[in-house]
Structure 1
Amino acid sequence: MLEIRAISIAAIISVLVSGASVAGDVEIVDATAKEGAGGWTFSVTLKHGDTGWDHYADLWEVYTPEGELLGKRVLAHPHVNEQPFTRSLSGVLIPDGITIVVIRARDSVHGVSPQEFRLELP
């Protein structure tokens, strides 16, 4: 009986731990850019196991390859039932000579994801 109880506790702990890891780092699934009269518009698709206000994808940013911040889109709320999701940012000014940008994303628990999405500008 004690052995069965120990196995049950181990199984419960395993389920809890695996559930907690579901909302890990935010993933950048796709990104597009389009040049317009007022600058560039970026549309970025993110995937994250948002669990609510305590853990959600809360930001993405556009950088030059050298690390200069060009623009950022703050995500004001969790997207628990909308995964993956796409949000846009307009009016991003790209310096002359920049043909590739780097997109990074962040969640409210883990911070900035180690993933970098390199996007060649059309």
Structure 2
Amino acid sequence: MSKIQDCKIIAIPKIHDPRGNLSVIEEQVIPFEIKRVYYLYDVPAGAERGGHSHKEQQEFLVALSGSFEVILNDGEREKTVVLNKPYEGLLIANNIWRELRNFSSGSVCLVIASDVFEESDYIRGFNDFLQTKR
């Protein structure tokens, strides 16, 4: 079973240029094959996203613009990570509960996933999540 320490910040290569920087996310950056990419934006003030865990899927989150907090829980420990740099991402292992909150105005959260959407991979209730960790 995954633990909080399996979730980590990973630097995304950054190419400096006076015309504007460029960052590239390839499979050398993240430890899984990319199967799905989506992004969250226009999140209203005070709204929360996430609130689930994945049985198998891993995710890599990047704050492309603005900032937000990711609250991670492995059933024993909880940790809050602030994402606010487009050249860093958070790798979230499977079997980790995650909640996203405190989105700044104009923030964009990019999510790169190790698998396509599959409802059966989700654990959507926190108590159900805790049961799987026992």
Q: Report the TM-score when normalising by structure 2.
A: 0.29
Q: Report the TM-score when normalising by structure 1.
A: 0.30
Query: Structure 1 or 2: larger helix share?
Result: 1
The structure with the larger Rg is 1
Report 1 or 2 for greater relative contact order, CA contacts < 8 Å, sequence distance ≥ 6: 2
